[in-house]
């Protein structure tokens, strides 16, 4: 991973918009293996993507979000995306779960460090949202990292996507996976002034799963 990635992303945003109000640390993927077969490289890969990258972006944003003059502050919100794998653990995802759990620690710490500057910092922990990360692994979706192809998806998952199998979603009270629009709606809430007194929290968007 480019160690200057955080600086480049933040500078590009400020260059285009002239300021920085909202950060959504959302990019990610999975590299699933059982713990006893997970090598160091695969474990670190998840930490680099889900933990180190958001930290670098937040650090780079400090000059634009730590505004001492209260009269110049606007609605400022940082949203770190975690997963129920990070809040509850998940078989075959020791690396992903560890990285996503670390996101919660980043959120709570930044809430305390940047709260005095009016910056709200929260986490969204998604459950089963219908994306290529949660569709059937047999569909052949993949991402290339460092020249290596990493398969995406869940083995044996319904190939038809969201709503294709009620049985597959039997442990979700709403009996279906979430839609990307619903995931975005939760994100919008935490980004907007509607959540102006919400900080340091983890909002689980799961359809009721894991309660």
Q: What confidence tens digit (pLDDT) does each residue in 106-156 have?
A: 999 999 999 999 999 999 999 999 887 777 677 777 778 777 887 777 776
Percent of the chain with pLDDT over 70: 92
96 is catalytic: yes
Structure-token pair, residue 81:
């995306």
Which entry of 5, 64, 96, 197 is annotated as an active-site residue? 96
* pLDDT tens digits for range 33-55: 999 999 999 999 999 999 999 99
Is residue 70 in a domain?
no
Judged by average pLDDT, the poorest of 88-97, 152-161, 202-211 is 152-161
Is residue 32 in a domain?
yes
Cβ–Cβ < 8 Å for 64, 118: no
Is residue 149 in a domain?
yes
Structure-token pair, residue 127:
């459950």
Is residue 115 in a domain?
yes
Is residue 88 in a domain?
yes
Measure the CA–CA gap between 61 and 42, rounded to whole angstroms.
28
pLDDT at position 136: 67
Measure the CA–CA gap between 38 and 145, rounded to whole angstroms.
17
Is residue 108 in a domain?
yes
- Strand 119-126 to 142-145 pairing: unpaired
* pLDDT tens digits for range 63-96: 999 999 999 999 999 999 999 999 999 999 999 9
Is residue 170 in a domain?
yes
**Interval 180-199 mean pLDDT:** 97
Domain span at residue 88?
5-11+18-65+75-205
CATH number, domain containing residue 123: 3.40.50.720
- State the pLDDT confidence band at 161, using cuts at 50, 70 and 90: low
Check pLDDT > 50 for residue 163.
no
For residues 110-148, one letter each, b for 16 or more C-beta atoms within 10 angstroms of the residue's C-beta and e for the rest, the string is bbeebeeebbbbbbbbbbbbbbebbbbbeeeeeeeeeee
Provide the number of structural domains found in the chain: 1
pLDDT at position 134: 74
Is residue 111 in a domain?
yes
- State the pLDDT confidence band at 160, using cuts at 50, 70 and 90: low
Q: What is the pTM of this model?
A: 0.88
């Amino acid at each position: 991973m480019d160690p200057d990635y955080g600086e480049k992303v933040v500078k590009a945003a400020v260059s285009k918009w002239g300021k920085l109000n909202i950060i959504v640390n959302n990019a990610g993927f999975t590299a699933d293996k059982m713990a006893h077969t997970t090598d160091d490289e695969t474990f670190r890969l998840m930490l680099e993507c889900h933990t180190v990258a958001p930290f670098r972006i937040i650090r780079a944003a400090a000059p634009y979000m730590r505004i001492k003059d209260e009269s110049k502050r606007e609605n400022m919100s940082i949203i770190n995306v975690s997963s129920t794998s990070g809040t509850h653990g998940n078989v075959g995802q020791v690396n992903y779960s560890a990285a996503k759990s670390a996101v919660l620690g980043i959120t709570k710490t930044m809430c305390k460090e940047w709260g005095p500057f009016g910056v709200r910092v929260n986490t969204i922990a998604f459950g089963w949202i219908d994306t290529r990360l949660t569709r059937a692994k047999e569909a052949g979706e993949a991402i290339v990292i460092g020249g290596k192809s990493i398969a995406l998806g869940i083995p044996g998952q319904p190939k038809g996507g969201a709503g294709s199998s009620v049985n597959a979603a039997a442990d979700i009270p709403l009996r279906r996976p979430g839609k990307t629009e619903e995931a975005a709606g939760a994100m919008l809430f935490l980004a907007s002034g509607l959540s102006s007194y919400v900080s340091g929290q983890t909002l689980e968007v799961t359809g009721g799963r894991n309660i």
